[in-house]
Structure 1
Amino acid sequence: MGKSRVRRFRRVPFSPTGPEPRCEEEEDGPEEEPAAELLQKLQHPSAEVREYACASISRLLQQQHVIPAFLQRDVVRCLGPMLLDRSLAVRETAAGALRNLSACGGFEVCDDMVTQDIMTPLVALLKECSSGLDVNQLSPKKRKEMSKNYIEDIANEAINLLWNVCECNSTAVYIFNKEGCLEAVLHYIKKYSTNVDLAISVANCLQAVTEDNPDLLPSFSASVQQVLETVMLCPESTMKHILLRTLIAGTIWNIKETIPPGSLGNMVNAILKIFSESLAIDAGETVIRMNEAEKNRLKSAEAETEENLIDVTDNCAISEDDGMEEVSKGKGSGEQDLSDLLPSDKWELKEVTALLMAQQTALEIIVNMCCSEDPSDDEWEELSSSDESDLFMENSYSEGSGLLMSPLCLSAEVHSAFLNNLIPKKILEKTAFPNSVALDICMHNPSWKPLIKKLNTVQCRALTCLHSILLVSDVDCLGGASALQSLAHHLSQLIFSKKELPEDMEFLEAITSALRALLQTMASKNISQCMTPEQLLALCEASIHSSNASVRVNVVSILGISGSVLAKVQDTAETLKMIGKFLLEVAMKESSLVVAGEALDALFDVFADGKEAEKAAVQMKLLPALKEFQPVFKMRIRKEGKGQYSTDQLCVLDNVKMNLRRFIAYQETLGKNST
């Protein structure tokens, strides 16, 4: 029960990998006019007023606390028709407002948007954009005045909105399939060479809608696949294009069932080559380099602006009557609005962000490639210990045979591509802590500060990826015993490198999952473990109070694995007693039955066999403690189980209960034999 298992990432909106709300460049939004007043302005005959209202609503919807006020006034039904407004500017700002609502509102809001039929105008808009909004209807003067491509900008907002609602709502995905939206959005991915931002939005949307969507697979004809392959192999080397290729590679992996078997090996190799190239880039060095580039660009632009201001001053000074006033206005304007004259696209920051998103996405897809099936959100519950239960009575825990699940297997194509593209090596490199110089840059630059979270997320995803690789690869492919020992040393350094043990929940879950998988692998091959029992106990004592149940499950499992190995070593009874007392206390006091069950399972592993284990069990009075606890555990399952835990969890807990009975009987047999 409770053995470590490959996890699968499901794409979740509103996370670091999800679409970010569209933010206007001005930091100060409009005055917070009442929601009702702004919504009323959507009906104004003037397109400029309607555009202003949409833009104002868009800004306000980035603040979660104001969303309920707009929802109470049917903001979705008010903005929906604006997607098909006769003004292109209104369409764009309305789509941006709805995009922000979907991104900032969460799952329930997205569900509500679909219920209020946002998909009807959205699909109509996407199809109209795909066939080309008839810009020719505009006067030649108006077309000349346009400083941007409204069709592509409207489509970008609309596709991001589509992405969000499809992430959250199965009805939206059904409508996507039924209405043939694939053809509409594919039209825009072909713009990757001239509008990579639009192509990235489409690629994100495609990766979302192709996940677990068999009804869409027939739409991926050979010609559609050719479009995707062309984009995936695009030669451009910017970070945004790296992100684009990574997302398309993820989409192709989602539709792998449509690829002819003879081509699958080449396709998997092409996908992992893209991931390998993305992971090979040093994100920390990229932060340092791009930050320096931004500084140089801004200095150059500032110097150019000052030159222009001097020219303006010289020209104005020619007039004697009002020259001083003009000079004063010129300087005042220049000093006050200098930032507006500087380039504001922050392309360097966007490039780094794209790289980190590409690396995170690649690591998540690699994790998914290691899965042979779709586990539920909780991996612990799905593993039954019924097949191990009889081992207590048979005393067959020698050589760690009862410690591990059967090794999972990668397909031949994936396994070969992993090795060819040095994927395990690249993953290991990403598990290191982010570059300290890069972190310092981000810490002292408000615009770059959000990158700290993204850098840490990449490290956590790499650790989770390492966990998956360890479970599906054999020891030789991982480099043999010495490589695993080096890896154990590396993980221990990550944990114990600082004076205090890490507290970040995401990191702690990832590192303990990786360590758990590593110790399982090493135990199964009788490879000596490098971390001392004292270190492991310190980790467990610090982590057992974590609010994250997965962390608590991992650490008690780690103790079980380590204790079962120590049980075969002479003069370890005292250490086994410490481990046993810790696990017994967790089993008795833990609020979560899942964690309590894992602690019991770890106890079974530690005290299943060996003279040292027998000695420690007697000294700590394990048998009477478990006999006293047995009815309490049964009662907890009966009282707390239903309603709080899933069917899978209850199934495993029943197995723990059965194994507890058998383990007690086994311990009683040992006691009789010893007398």
Structure 2
Amino acid sequence: MGKSKSNRFRRPQFNSAGLPAGPVRDQEEDQTLEEDQDQEEDCPAVELLEKLQSPSADVREFACASISRVVQQSQTIPGFLQRDVVKRLGPMLLDSSLAVRETAAGALRNLSACGGHEVCEDMVKKDIMTPLTSLLRECCAGFLTDQKNTVEDVANEAVNLLWNLCESSSQALSVFNKAGLLDVVLQCLETHTHNVELAIAAAHCLHAVTEDNPELLCSINAAALATLENLLQSSSPGMAHSHLRTLAAGAMWNLKSSLPAARQAHALSAVVATLSQCLALDAGVLIPKLREEEEADYASGAASADAGSQAVEGAEDTVEMEEEEAVEDEGEKGAGRKTNKNQTVKDNDFTDLLPRDMGKLRDALALLAAQQTSLEIIVNMCCSDDPSDDEWEEASSSDESEAGPDALCDGLSGLMSPLCLSAEVHAALVNHNIPEKARLHTLYPSAQEDPVSLQRSHGGVPAESILEMPDKKRVQYRALTCLHNILSVMDVEALGGAEALQATAQHLSSLVFSGPEIPKEEEFLEAITSAMRSLLQTIASKNIPQCMSPQQLMSLSEAATRCNVVSVRVNALAILGITWQHAG
């Protein structure tokens, strides 16, 4: 991984809960997904697509919901594409039924997320942006009507679809610009006071479309900037709102060139302060606390449910006795109750007391998503425009097999030169202690801190859904890359001096060598070797003694040679070259 553009990050597809922003699964759908997979042959694409033409809104809704589930299995997508699923679902976005609109948008959202870039490009070529644009505008017009809540549910699916398309397709981004969809996204963003999920989807979309989009920058006005500034200054509690503010900070950073000169310093301060506040949250403390609260909520809910069941049984026994004794005032004693023993007593339905959601898990994942996003934004703040991804790949992969360490390191000398960082950004990062916060987040979490442990023993969400969520491991990887860029752009004094650099070197070495063997995860190796390379170069340039032993260097080199990621091997060779030159 290179220092600059190759260390930029595109947004992760996660919503306010930390759940994947692509596939849409409610609890009932998750429970039936396995059954749907088994019945896949009984529900072919042709049958579901035919149901979209039904005069019954319920049938059309069922068809859209079924397609939404089925396309989560990537092997089914080609069959739907061959039968023009996009052109058939497109009109459903403007169906007379809001429920059909919502499920159609959800099906297209899943198709875009599970199908990848090529499917997104194909969807745009088949003109899905036209009905989607109309739907989004109608949704915004409906925010002030009596159906506001339902319309916002539709908008949430539509904005997630828009986000996926603009992230994957330059043509979709062009349509976004020309259709003036920025105003629509900002309107959705302003729902944050009562609908944080929709606001986060809009913030993700805004964060994506404002990156490297000069055409859009020309249309940014004072109202748009004010919306973002208000978000950064908001003090709404909760992890979801912290994630929202982080995304707003990322969008504000992307729009920095649109800011009037007089407001740039204030905006920069607000952006870095937001990121700093997010990184200051200690997931190692908060996540175990959330787990304890989740377990307590479950225990309380289970106890209440038991009490409710006993009350129901008692009420049924009373009804039965009343019937047997033919009590004359049955109407008074049995008011509101069902007399059939096999039916639930209406006035004592305690099912709502069961813990149906996983609020604490959602909070934990929102926290980690916010911290991951914060680190990615800082990575981009410390990036210059060159070399590009293509240049890095060309420099790192061409003739690699034929070049020795000296030749390769000489060829990389230009790529390893210090990056540029403005004095204002440098000062803001130092004032908010960002280097140290990034270093702290490189610590690997214990098993107790892993959000997967927040899964309740009674179930509710499939294990595979939880394993797909961002965990603190990913935060660690981003923190390492963030540290790599910080080390590349800051001077020794700003980093804490020689002692601090040596301590950081020991810390990075411990991450690699503390276990019985070097970790094999490619993303970890890419991030850790990039950070070590930058650190060792900084240490060498100041003639500070480094603490890696020859045995460690050999072990790292051997691990790198087994890695399929070219940049890992390049980093290892560069580390050897730096150490060799410094020793000489």
Please, what TM-score do these two structures have when normalized by structure 1? 0.75
Residue 356, structure 1, aligned to residue 368, structure 2: yes
Equivalent runs, 1:484-499 vs 2, <5 Å: 484-499=501-516
State the Cα deviation string for residues 496-538 of structure 1 (Å, max 9, x = none). Answer: 1101111111101100110011111111111111111121111
Q: Distance in 1 between matches of 2:86 and 2:445?
A: 42
Q: Name the CA distance, whole Å, in 1 between partners of 2:12 and 2:212.
A: 16
Could you tell me which runs of 5 or more consecutive residues in structure 1 were left unpaired when the two chains were aligned: 137-142, 385-396, 568-675
Work out which of the residue numbers 398, 407, 411 in structure 1 matches 2:422. Answer: 411
Q: Secondary structure of the equivalent of 2:32? A: coil
Residue in 2 that maps onto 1:343: 355
Local SS of the residue matching 1:320: helix
Q: Which residue of 2 aligns with 1:132?
A: 142
Deviations 1:481-507 (A, max 9, x none): 111111110011011110111111110
- Aligned partner letter, 1:566: A
Distance in 2 between residues matched to 1:124 and 1:409, nearest whole Å: 44
Structure-1 residue corresponding to 2:130: 120
Q: How does 1:557-636 map to 2 (within 5 A)?
A: 557-567=574-584
Please state whether the residue corresponding to 2:27 is helix, strand or coil. Answer: coil
Compared with structure 1, are the counterparts of its residues 175 and 289 closer, same or farther at alpha carbon in structure 2 (3 Å cutoff)?
same
Partner of 1:483: 500
2:450 is matched by which residue type in structure 1?
L
Q: Per-residue CA shift, 1:59-94, capped at 9, x if unaligned?
A: 111111211111111111111100000001100011
Q: Does structure 2 retain, via aligned residues, the 8 Å contact 1:366–1:465?
A: yes
Residue of structure 2 aligned with 1:516, choices 533, 537, 540: 533
> How much does 1:218 deviate?
2.1
What are the superposed Cα offsets for residues 119-144 of structure 1, whole Å, 9 maximum, x if unpaired?
000000001111117856xxxxxx7x
**Residue 292 of structure 2: aligned partner:** 292
What is the one-letter code of the residue matched to 2:10?
Answer: R
In 2, Cα distance between equivalents of 1:443 and 1:556: 41
Offset, 1:4: 5.8
CA distance in 1, matches of 2:303, 2:314: 17
Give the residue type in structure 2 aligned to 1:281.
Answer: L
Tell me by how many angstroms 1:293 deviates.
Answer: 1.1
Distance (whole Å) between structure 2 residues aligned to residue 245 and residue 185 of structure 1: 15
Distance 1:444 1:302, change over 3 A: closer
Task: Give, in whole Å, the separation in 2 of the partners of 1:156 and 1:523.
Answer: 51
Q: Does residue 24 of structure 2 align to residue 22 of structure 1?
A: yes
| 1:454 and 2:456 correspond | no
CA distance in 1, matches of 2:168, 2:313: 56
Structure 2: how far apart are the matches of 1:458 and 1:380? 24
Name which of structure 1's ranges 313-322 and 168-177 shifts more when overlaid on structure 2.
313-322
Q: What does residue 480 of structure 2 align with? A: 463
User: C-alpha distance in 2, partners of 1:18/1:560?
Assistant: 41
Does structure 2 conserve the Cα–Cα contact (< 8 Å) formed by 1:239 and 1:355?
A: yes
Work out which of the two has the higher radius of gyration on C-alpha atoms and give 1 or 2: 1
Alpha-carbon deviation of 1:409?
2.7
Which runs of 5 or more residues in structure 2 are unaligned? 325-337, 397-408
Partner deviation per Cα, 1:85-116 (whole Å, 9 max, x = no partner): 00011000111111111111100000010011
Aligned to 1:211: 211
Match of 1:70 among 74, 80, 85: 80
In 1, the alpha carbon distance for the partners of 2:190 and 2:132 equals 21
Q: Contact 2:450 / 2:471 at 8 angstroms: preserved in 1?
A: no
Deviations 1:7-27 (A, max 9, x none): 431416658997231112121
Q: Deviations over 1:552-573 (max 9, x none)?
A: 1111111111111122xxxxxx
Write the distance in 1 (CA, Å) between the matches of 2:95 and 2:469.
41
Distance 2:96 2:238 in 1: 36
Partner residue, 1:536? 553
Question: Displacement of 1:328 after TM fit?
Answer: 5.7
Which residues of 2 match residues 15-94 of structure 1 at below 5 A?
19-26=21-28, 27-29=31-33, 30=36, 31-32=39-40, 33-94=43-104
Alignment CA distance shift 1:298-1:327 (3 Å): farther
- The aligned counterpart of 1:263 is 263
Shift of 1:376: 2.3
**1:436 lines up with 2:447 in the alignment:** yes
Match of 1:242 in 2: 242
Could you tell me whether the CA contact under 8 Å between 2:71 and 2:77 is conserved in 1? yes
Are the aligned partners of 1:92 and 1:153 in contact in 2 as well (CA < 8 Å)? yes
The amino acid of 1:434's aligned partner reads: P
Output the amino acid matched with 1:355.
L
Q: CA deviation at 1:442?
A: 2.1
Q: Which amino acid aligns with 2:235?
A: P
The answer to whether structure 1 residue 501 and structure 2 residue 518 are counterparts is yes
How many residue pairs get aligned? The number is: 536
Displacement of 1:432 in angstroms is 0.5
Per-residue deviation, 1:303:
2.0
Quote the Cα distance in structure 1 between the aligned partners of 2:543 and 2:509: 19
CA RMSD of aligned residues (A): 2.8
Per-residue Cα deviation, 1:211-247 (whole angstroms, up to 9, x for no partner): 1111111221112111111112111121000000000
Corresponding residue of 2:563 = 546
Distance change >3 Å, CA 379–CA 286, structure 1 → 2: farther
Q: CA contact under 8 A between 1:5 and 1:379: conserved in structure 2? A: no
Matched, 1:181 2:181: yes
Letter matched to residue 361 of structure 1: T
Cα-to-partner distance string for 1:252-299 (whole Å, 9 max, x where unaligned): 111101111222122111101111111111123222111111111122
The answer (yes or no) to whether the contact 1:83–1:92 under 8 Å persists in 2 is yes
* CA distance in 2 between partners of 1:531 and 1:6 (Å): 28
Q: Is the 8 A contact 1:519 1:529 kept in 2?
A: yes
- 1:405 deviates by 4.8
Secondary structure of the residue that 2:191 maps to in structure 1?
Answer: coil
Measure the CA separation in 2 of the matches of 1:343 and 1:191: 27
Asked whether the 8 Å contact 1:7–1:367 carries over to 2, the reply is no
CA distance in 2, matches of 1:374, 1:98: 36
Q: Distance in 1 between matches of 2:436 and 2:468?
A: 24
Q: Could you tell me whether the CA contact under 8 Å between 1:51 and 1:89 is conserved in 2?
A: yes
Q: How many Å separate the matches in 1 of 2:377 and 2:274?
A: 12
Residue 464 of structure 1 contacts residue 510 of structure 1 at CA under 8 Å; is this kept in 2? yes
How far is 1:414 from its partner? 0.4
> For residue 400 of structure 2, what is the aligned residue in structure 1?
none
Structure 1 438/234 Cα, relative in aligned 2: closer, same or farther at 3 Å? Answer: same
C-alpha spacing 1:452/1:89, structure 2 compared with 1 (3 Å)? closer
* Cα distance in 2, alignment partners of residues 441 and 12 from structure 1: 22
Q: Residues 147-203 of structure 1, C-alpha deviation per residue, up to 9 Å, x if partnerless?
A: x81110000000000000000111111111111111112112111010000100000
- Percent identity, aligned pairs only? 51
Return closer, same or farther for 1:557/1:373 CA change in 2, 3 Å cut-off.
same
Structure 1 Cα separation of the partners of residues 449 and 183 of structure 2: 42
Q: Could you tell me whether the CA contact under 8 Å between 1:464 and 1:514 is conserved in 2?
A: yes
Pick the aligned partner of 2:382 from 367, 370, 373: 370
